[in-house]
Amino acid sequence: MEKVYIFDTTLRDGEQSCGVSLSIKEKLDIARQLANLGVDIIEAGFPIASHGDFEAVQAIAEEIDGPVIAGLARVLPEDIERAASAIKPAKRRRLHIFLATSKIHMDYKLKKSKEEILKMAVEGVKLAKSFTDDVEFSPEDASRTEKSFLYEVLEATISAGATTVNIPDTVGYAMPAEFGTLIADIKRAVKNIGKAIISVHCHNDLGMAVANSLSAVMNGARQVECTMNGIGERAGNASLDEIVMAIKIRPDLFQLFTEVNTQHIYKTSKMVSGYTGMVVQPNKAVVGSNALAHSSGIHQDGFLKERTTYEIMRPEDIGLAESKIVLTKLSGRHALKKRLQDLGFSLTDEELSCAFKAFKELADKKKEIFDADIQALIEDEVHIPPERFKLDYLYVSCGTGTIPTATIRIKDGERLVQEVAWGNGPIDAIYLAIDKAIGISSKLKDYSVSALTGEKEAIGEVVVRIERGVKEITGRGISTDIIEASAKAYLSAINRSVQNQGF
């Protein structure tokens, strides 16, 4: 199988994302991690752009060992000399120079003829070649360039010494079949193409960057320029993680390989996201938080029986410990049972049915059920002492300028008892109404409320301590509604008291 070279431009094109500005230290950290990841080339920056960019490229060239360190330059002599100076300390270095070749760029941006463009491209490559043997030339906006002229420029720059020719889809204009055909046509029409590696650099304006890159690879491109998480100008670049994993997962189709250590993908993704502030969308392929998560009951059941039913890549392949079963209202009994087993609970079928019912009721109120929620459910709904008094209905009215009032209905065996009471606050009113309904009174000694998890929809846990006679009894209640949790906690303490002391 042939190798596909991975040219990472996170530190150059990726930093051109709106709102991104990396410090030299941050760039060095990312470069170290890219070296750990095993990319072949790191495009460290655009040295002529600023003094800071020059220093960052130079620092990376001095420190990073392993990958080729590339600096970007226009074909202008001052650009090339500046870039050459920045990458000079690198053990392996490359000058990457570019010049637009499409009619729209030549007419409106450069205002130059084909003859002038061809001359500038050749002279730029020759100058770059005087600094390093490894020279890459990019005809900017190649996908919108007249084919005959593109072939002429590529042939001339290869003759001048370019060892890599990069075909950019600069504005994400191409479609996969079209772009693949362009690469095949270049291989056929450019006479000396065998002396250079064909590279591609695709943008994602129409969401085709990865598809275009892979189509190019299937048609003979052997270097892909990409960024971690797909960051970059406008809608971004081809995503490194998606390119690499597609080639890894489908050797039957590509019959190619990369030398990327995929177990560093997730770690690199998190670092780049953290330093750039570019949040990875949850449903992004490979590295999104949902990419290896399952919430549908049907999917969870199939996955738990055989992973490959709903997963085509292993989490450990990208550096994750395991896939994620997300418990939601769509989850089934199998997923809940598995999570309960993981948490150390062994339930009978009857207890599981009780837990599943409570789980579904809670899941209708929360987007995601966490381990702490499940543990609380088991303690509150399954592992509970026999209850004499059960909460059947609760209504509370309170607010500024009103008297807090609680209406409560308690089930005592087959009998329903309803009472109303008012108090100093909503909790006081609830507890007085409960006392009236059950015909006994208790003294509240302690009351505390806390959230079991951190999100806004978190389950609230209320713990109370009551005094009845000479004994103090603790009760606990949970609910997404802390008013309801407060009533449950008080009833829990009373039920424990009744069980221990009788009515």
Q: What is the pLDDT of residues 6-42, one digit of tens each?
A: 999 999 999 999 888 899 999 999 999 999 999 999 9
Verify that 252 and 297 share a domain, yes or no. no
Any domain includes 283: no
Average pLDDT, whole number, for the chain? 90
Q: Which of 382, 405, 440 is the last residue of a domain?
A: 382
- 91 neighbors 62 (Cβ within 8 angstroms): no
Window from 154-163, 264-273, 442-451, 483-492 with minimum mean pLDDT: 442-451
The tens digit of pLDDT for each residue in 271-292 reads 999 888 888 888 899 998 777 7
Both 245 and 313 in one domain: the answer is no
Helix (H, G, I), strand (E, B) or coil at 427: helix
Do 348 and 423 lie in one domain? The reply is no
- Comparing 179 with 460, the larger pLDDT belongs to 179
288 domain-assigned: no
Query: Hey, what amino acid is at 333?
Result: R
The number of domains in the chain is 3
Tens-place pLDDT, residues 386-412: 678 989 999 999 999 899 999 999 999
Q: What pLDDT, on the 0 to 100 scale, is given for residue 324?
A: 61
Q: Give domain status of residue 287, yes or no.
A: no
Same domain, 314 and 427: no
pLDDT at 87: 98
Q: How far apart are CA 34 and CA 67, in angstroms?
A: 9
Instruction: Clarify whether residues 439 and 481 are in a common domain.
Output: yes
Query: Which tens digits make up the pLDDT trace of 413-452?
Result: 889 999 999 999 999 999 999 999 998 888 898 898 887 7
Residue 65 backbone phi and psi in degrees, to 5: -115, 145
Four-CA torsion 354, 360, 366, 367, nearest 10 degrees: 130
Task: Check residue 196 and give its pLDDT.
Answer: 98
- Residue 198 inside a domain? The answer is yes
Percent of the chain with pLDDT over 70: 91
The per-residue pLDDT for range 238-249, each reduced to its tens digit, is: 999 999 999 999
254 and 317 in a single domain? The answer is no
The pLDDT value recorded for residue 13 is 97
Phi, psi angles (nearest 5°) of residue 164: -135, 135
Domain boundary among 382, 401, 423: 382
Q: How many helices (H) and strands (E) does the chain have?
A: 17, 18
Tokens 């729209």 belong to 104
**Closest alpha carbon to 41 in 68, 15, 59:** 68
Distance CA(283)–CA(245), nearest Å, equals 16
Residues 354 and 422 in one domain: no
Q: Are both 368 and 414 inside the same structural domain?
A: no
Q: What is the CATH number of the domain that holds 261?
A: 3.20.20.70
Average pLDDT over residues 334-353: 77
Please give the pLDDT value at position 220.
Answer: 98
State the chain's maximal CA–CA distance in angstroms: 103
Residue 310: C-alpha distances to residues 83, 113, 295, 300, 370 (Å):
47, 55, 11, 8, 22
For residue 339, the model assigns a pLDDT of 74
49 contacts 21 by C-beta, under 8 angstroms: no
Q: Is residue 385's pLDDT more than 60?
A: no
**CA separation, residue 407 to residues 13, 233, 314, 394, 485 (Å):** 64, 60, 54, 6, 15
Last residue of a domain, one of 220, 248, 276: 276
pLDDT bin (cut points 50, 70, 90) of residue 336 is confident
My answer on whether 93 and 227 are in the same domain is: yes
Same domain membership, residue 369 and residue 305: yes
**What is residue 462's predicted lDDT score, i.e. its pLDDT?**
86
pTM here?
A: 0.74
In a domain, 286, yes or no: no
Cβ distance 85 to 47 under 8 Å?
Answer: yes
Measured over the CA atoms of residue 297, residue 302, residue 303 and residue 308, the dihedral's sign is negative
pLDDT at 340 over 90: no
| Residue 258 counted as domain residue | yes
Measuring CA to CA, which residue among 423, 430, 427 is closest to residue 407? Answer: 430
- Does 330 have pLDDT greater than 80? no
**Could you read off the pLDDT of 57-107 as tens digits, one per residue?**
999 999 999 999 999 999 999 999 999 999 999 999 999 999 999 999 999
Rg of the chain (C-alpha set): 33
Do 211 and 97 belong together in one domain?
A: yes
Q: Are residues 365 and 423 in the same domain?
A: no
DSSP state of 1: -
Distance CA(317)–CA(261), nearest Å, equals 9
**H/E element holding 249?**
helix 240-249
- Using 50, 70 and 90 to split pLDDT, how confident is the model at 384? low
- Answer yes or no: is pLDDT of 322 > 80: no
Q: What is the CATH number of the domain that holds 444?
A: 3.30.160.270
Q: What is the pLDDT of residues 448-474, one digit of tens each?
A: 888 776 666 677 888 888 888 767 777
Q: Are 96 and 138 in contact (CB under 8 A)?
A: yes
- Quick check: is 397 in a domain? yes
Q: Is 400 left (phi over 0), alpha (psi -120 to 50) or beta?
A: beta
pLDDT in the model for residue 71? 98
Q: Which position has the token pair 């002599």?
A: 77
Please report the pLDDT score of residue 372 as a whole number: 65
What's the pLDDT at 344?
62
Q: What is the mean pLDDT of residues 186-207?
A: 98
Query: Can you give the residue range of the structural domain that contains 424?
Result: 389-501
